[in-house]
Amino acid sequence: MNQQKIGEFLKHLRKDKGLTQEQLAEHFYVSSRTVSRWETGSNMPDVDMLIELADFYDVDIREIIDGERKSEIMDNETKDTLKKVAEYAAEESKKRQGRLHTLLTGSIILAFVCQVLFGSEYKGRFYGIVPEAVCNNIMEFTCGLAFVAIVLYALHCLGVFDKIGQWKKKRRENKC
């Protein structure tokens, strides 16, 4: 798959419709920078976005993936299959986001509870029963856990995990 060829094809399709990158971005609720990245081949649209682009430009999705026009038209069965694949991918992403959200919420609640129990100026509500060093260790652990959860959630929101997956996939393809 040649991303630059696909990007050129997407650019050609956009220009044939007489649209600017900003207009296309507005239509699909993405940034013009995202459209620019598609057209330069530095980034590719998600599968569900490819389906929408194919419908919008009235081309076969295989034409977009190949980066050139074909004479045949995509049949509905193939289109339905691709939509199901896109829905599956979106559902998996949603599940991962839910797990990360639960981790984030749980670790912040745990850090708050530990702060109340072990972090006051008297080193906890146990009035000296728990040694100060233990209270400090508990607080460091829970604050670290909350920090890691925040970092993981931020990386997910930035799409880093998806990019790592794409990188791993490219490495596997190159090894074969």
Q: Are residues 45 and 100 in the same domain?
A: no
Rounded to 5 degrees, what angle do the CA atoms 20, 24, 30 make?
Answer: 130
- Specify whether 103 is located in the same domain as 165: yes
Position 118 in a domain: yes
Instruction: Kindly state whether residue 73 falls inside one of the protein's structural domains.
Output: no
17: pLDDT strictly greater than 60: yes
Does residue 33 form part of some domain? yes
Asked, for residue 80, whether it belongs to a domain, the answer is: no
* Total number of domains constituting the chain: 2
Residues 60 and 131 in one domain: no
Domain range for 142 is 89-175
Which of 16, 33, 66 marks a domain boundary? Answer: 66
Q: Do both 57 and 14 map to the same domain?
A: yes
Local confidence band at 104 (pLDDT 50, 70, 90 cut-offs): confident
Give mean pLDDT, residues 152-159.
84
Per the domain annotation, does 107 fall within a domain? yes
What is the rounded distance in angstroms from the CA atom of residue 86 to the CA atom of residue 63?
Answer: 18
* 84 in a structural domain: no
Better pLDDT: 172 or 141:
141
Residues 131 and 164 in one domain: yes
Report the percent of the chain where pLDDT is more than 70. 88
Residue-level pLDDT at 137: 85
Residue 161 is assigned to a structural domain of this protein: yes
pLDDT of residue 129: 75
CATH number at residue 14: 1.10.260.40
pLDDT for res 21 = 93
Q: Indicate if the pLDDT at residue 71 is higher than 70.
A: no
Query: What is the band of 127 on the pLDDT scale with cuts at 50, 70, 90?
Result: low
Residue 118 is encoded by which pair of tokens?
A: 């072990």
Give yes or no: residues 51 and 102 share one domain: no
Which one is predicted more confidently, 29 or 162?
A: 29
Last residue of one domain, picked from the residues 66, 99, 116:
66
In the numeric block, which tokens belong to residue 67? Answer: 């980066």
User: Do 93 and 165 share a domain, yes or no?
Assistant: yes
Q: What is the mean pLDDT of the chain?
A: 82
Q: pLDDT at position 73, please?
A: 52
Stretch 143-157: mean pLDDT: 86
Identify the pLDDT of residue 75.
62
CB-hemisphere CA count at 13 Å for 175? 6
How far, in Å, are 19, 44, 53, 64, 156 from residue 163 at the CA level? 29, 11, 21, 21, 10
